[in-house]
Structure 1
């Protein structure tokens, strides 16, 4: 049996902490999750936790960042490169609504994330992941002449907020078809 390298052990420990943290943050919320519970769930020591993360908030930020990256990757995977720019926006938007319904994602990214990390930090995370995919789609559509030329940053923020509110409506029992009908009408209304 080959022994793991230090890097492999580090990656394994970090992954266990992220997994345990995610599970507890989703089931109990950030405020009701303690570090002793995180390390017990990960079957690690507090020393291992503090070796990788200075505090619980840093672990939470890493969980949120990991989750946001997974959402962006799933959106990108759902949108075929062969679609025209507007169809890609619509398909990506529907993919976002779908992947955000995974257990705990809305809580992590839309509710607890802003409250624990602050709006500015969440904006940085969004800009690197979910809003990045939206921005790229809007920019591609404008460059293709499919959408009216509008201020890209403002448009990304406004549409991103609409998509986030649609996710929260879905979590509260809303209908996906209704949400996509409205979001689709808004996007189509931006066409030239």
Structure 2
């Protein structure tokens, strides 16, 4: 028990903020990690299955562009997951009995604002990817002959595959992950500014 700081030396307000940072950081990290892993798996599956049907890749205009931005959004989500872990580390620093080791309120607010910007940029990249992917799906749906089933090709017209819907779902999961990061950062910012 030598590693435990003396909690009586820490003001109750700072102790409460440290607890908020710890719980919010872990919850945000968990939600974003689950959504990010699922999205990554789906996008990897989509990229490998896309290589198997190279002939149909040429007809999927917008999909490559969309997947590029979806991957950029996933990279930003990975950075946001690390940022959530930083919130847990800030919690430990706030609990330090030595006041010189604690981050200042201004530094903490700056860290939270940077987390907000990071999630907004990641969300923007993912939304651009989603727009390109959905636009490509709409173009393929419109190109289908009126009496043909949507999921089966006729005369080499590109079709919408079930995997295409998983790619849309992967983008939606990534957007939800960024949203979870935004909510946690805004909530913590609210708690710090009280």
Question: Structure 1-normalised TM-score?
Answer: 0.29
Is the radius of gyration larger for structure 1 or structure 2? 2
| TM-score, normalised by the number of residues in structure 2 | 0.29
Q: Which has the higher contact order (CA 8 A, sep 6+)?
A: 2
